[in-house]
A and B are shown apart, each in its own frame.
Chain A
């Protein structure tokens, strides 16, 4: 459903060799990306979202290429670790931006926003400003916006990296439920291999701008074949 085919990229200022990614994610599937810093995990997400331009390669969603589409027209929602919300708008407006950038919503759309708030357990906090809620609640609001945007691909760029273990677990499980419900293809970048165990069927190990290994999460983390994965995980 999300097919990445030899997607190449090279930072103009960097001496690192050029990157090339190939990966397929099915609808309803959550794939976790792990790997050392600078390996290219976030770069891959930014290429998919359209913030960076690939040198070559293809990105297909449901069979149609999207790499030439403008950022906003791609069937993709991305959630960052921080600054997902505009601090001067309340949570409701921040989520509503996902439906109508003009912020003029008809009653169906307003219902959809309220439903999304309920779905992510934020009911009642609609009128709060981002500064007045917890970090977990802010990320829930960002997920609510992803829900109302209803794009088939969801990218999580260390979205829960700043949260505690319990909250992180809760949110990853929430993401997993939403991904299954809405049949989305989801890619989650994380620094914590434990995150992968919570909900990802498959985990990919990214090294030097390539998907160095991909396997079911259990297999990759418990019996890694690649020495680099063993080094990365350390404790094994």
Chain B
């Protein structure tokens, strides 16, 4: 009884202890928690920016990009955030529609993106391509195109994510739509028998893949770089598809309601600088948006060339997403 009381007291003390206040200005950035985790870019970015800004950079990690945008929609003008970092091009149209973002007034001088970037509200910090990752020892002859993957009745088994709950899942949906157009539903129906399972998020599917549950998993073209660099394991590769790969561009933007606009702009400028950009490849495992290819880690040159980059206009995605998801549901449950 008394020990229980003590436990509780200690627990409470742990919980509510110490809120640090500082005299410096604070810049609040909403991002996703794999950005802020100890393996993500967060800790290094925070240290580097605070060295020069004479400020306190607070990175608050939410579940993922969708959560960041939803949080902003809930908070509206009253948001504590100065900058949002981590929404992708599938969400920018809706983010724009909130009317909460301020023009950044900056220019991208050294874009590494395959397309030119012109956006008054959002600036990209990294990008990547969706791809099917496989184990070379298990699958010596991966399909060479998305069409081949779909049409080979006895082709490799797949693990994918659900477009209703995950970003890569939505990415594949758009990729299929981009390649097959109006025939996407038929293609999905053809693919369905070889889909082992459709998981809630990337982590579940990738975990199942590493457990050997299927031949290929929907992931990023840069995923093998992790295994090469962190694990010195060269068995994993992404399959290059001749139609090209659907692209994901992750962006940041500053808010109208921010009381620290100059500081927020300084952060966005810093984000495009080489110090920030060099942190990205081996922490976020994506291509930095403003770093010449020559400055990437050497292992990145062993990755597939995913060109051409496929990307729908963000307005179109916002308009059609619901209908496309219904079409997908219909096709794979048939």
Do A and B come into direct contact in the complex, CB within 8 Å?
no
B residues whose Cβ falls under 8 Å from a Cβ of A = none
